[in-house]
């Protein structure tokens, strides 16, 4: 494969699995070489191969997990800043695609190699990338078990609805959190049922797309509360509303979460356990093709 070539990494098993042949044909018609995953972690390998081959246009067809695997390969190959990435959503939730204005498979293929490019932030956690969010608590596993309908409605918060029964019995996490951001150093310590660190996704108020180009995470800490209150709030989706009691919110470029016991985190759906986890933003580290619905300044504070 020639340096500078175009490649599409396809997960044929994503979502309903009925997109594969169509994507192969359309991608090849656009001049993309097509490589396919066959099992877990294949996206990491194919992303690393794309880095080693100097691919400059890389499309990923699959869900958020497939995109995350490919990003891990690009980071391992020190190629994250040398490639333009396109997302062709074919998973069950497609949170990243939804937040950058990519509607469906056809739209993603249309944008690949021709769509507008924005340089967006990439989060790093224990040396591994995430673009949508990194969450812990209630428990993080529920974020991968939520139905596609709930994920579409609530995004990363779907686990709050999926885990209602678990919520009543969930043992809070004893955490120390330190952060550095727009308000300077901040610290929080206590018992929490969830910590949510968003890069492409906001958690408070109405949720939706976060500012992906400001070098800051949107962080929410959901403090321990009576189980009955938690269930009621989650059912009405008020648990992370503006000014909600028991929720601490701040924006930070660097966050450290510590605990005396291992805490399970879900990084764009990839699970790992840590007692001491540092998360930091790499500002505008990834060139990403976006749809017309993408808002570079969703909060209207940067004047774009």
pLDDT at 226: 64
Task: Check residue 213 and give its pLDDT.
Answer: 97
The answer to whether 202 and 210 are in contact (CB under 8 A) is: yes
DSSP 3-state percent helix, strand, coil across the chain (nearest 5): 25, 35, 35
- Write down the pLDDT at residue 210: 92
CA pair distance 206, 175, nearest whole angstrom: 26
Q: Which domains are seen in the chain, by residue range? A: 6-115 (3.40.50.10330), 129-283 (2.60.200.40)
Q: What is the pLDDT tens value at each position of the chain, 304 positions in all?
A: 344 589 999 999 888 878 999 999 999 999 999 999 999 999 999 999 999 999 999 999 999 999 999 999 999 999 999 999 999 999 887 989 999 999 999 999 999 989 999 999 999 999 999 999 998 986 454 554 444 544 554 444 554 545 554 555 667 899 999 999 888 999 999 999 889 899 998 877 667 899 999 999 999 898 887 655 555 555 444 456 555 677 888 899 999 999 999 999 989 988 899 999 999 999 999 999 999 999 999 987 776 6
Report whether 223 contacts 246 (CB < 8 A).
Answer: yes
Q: What is the pTM of this model?
A: 0.87
* Beta bridge partner(s), residue 82: none
Please report which helix (H) or strand (E) contains residue 268, including its range: none
The predicted structure's pLDDT at residue 147: 47
Tokens 């989060």 locate to 123
Q: Which contacts of 167-171 are long-range, i.e. CB under 8 A and separated by 24 or more positions?
A: 167/138, 167/193, 167/227, 167/230, 167/231, 167/234, 168/227, 168/228, 168/230, 168/231, 169/227, 170/137, 170/138, 170/139, 170/227
Confidence at residue 231, expressed as pLDDT on a 0 to 100 scale: 52
Query: pLDDT at position 233, please?
Result: 53
DSSP string, 121-159: EEEEETTEEESSEEEESS-TTHHHHS-HHHHHHHGGGHH
How many residues can be counted in the chain? Answer: 304
Distances (CA, A) of 35 to 45, 57, 70, 150, 236: 11, 13, 12, 31, 43
For β-strands 57-62 and 84-89, DSSP reports them as: parallel
């Amino acid at each position: 494969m020639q340096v500078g070539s175009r490649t599409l990494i396809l997960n044929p098993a994503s979502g309903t699995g009925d997109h594969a042949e169509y994507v192969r044909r359309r991608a090849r018609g656009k001049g993309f070489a097509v490589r396919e995953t066959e099992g877990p972690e294949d996206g990491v390998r194919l992303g690393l191969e794309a880095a080693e081959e100097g691919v400059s246009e890389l499309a990923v067809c699959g869900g958020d997990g497939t995109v995350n695997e490919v990003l891990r390969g690009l980071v391992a190959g020190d190629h994250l800043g040398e490639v333009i990435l396109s997302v062709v959503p074919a998973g069950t939730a497609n949170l990243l695609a939804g937040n950058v204005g990519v509607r469906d498979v056809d739209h993603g293929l249309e944008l690949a190699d021709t769509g507008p490019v924005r340089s967006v932030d990439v989060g790093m956690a224990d040396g591994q990338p995430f673009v949508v969010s990194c969450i812990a608590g209630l428990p993080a596993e529920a974020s991968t078990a939520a139905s596609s309908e709930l994920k579409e409605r609530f995004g990363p918060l779907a686990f709050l609805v999926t885990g209602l029964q678990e919520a009543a019995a969930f043992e809070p996490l004893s955490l120390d959190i330190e952060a550095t951001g727009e308000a300077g150093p901040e610290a929080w310590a206590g018992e929490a049922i969830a910590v949510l660190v968003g890069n492409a996704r906001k958690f408070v108020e109405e949720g939706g797309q976060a500012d992906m180009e400001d070098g800051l995470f949107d962080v929410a800490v959901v403090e321990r509360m009576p189980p009955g209150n938690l269930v009621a709030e989650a059912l009405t989706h008020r648990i992370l509303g503006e000014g909600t009691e028991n929720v601490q919110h701040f924006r930070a470029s660097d966050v450290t979460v510590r605990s005396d016991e291992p805490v399970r985190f879900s990084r764009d759906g990839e699970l790992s356990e840590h007692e001491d986890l540092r998360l930091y933003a790499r500002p505008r580290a990834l060139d990403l093709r976006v749809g017309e619905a993408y808002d570079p300044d969703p909060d209207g504070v940067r004047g774009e």
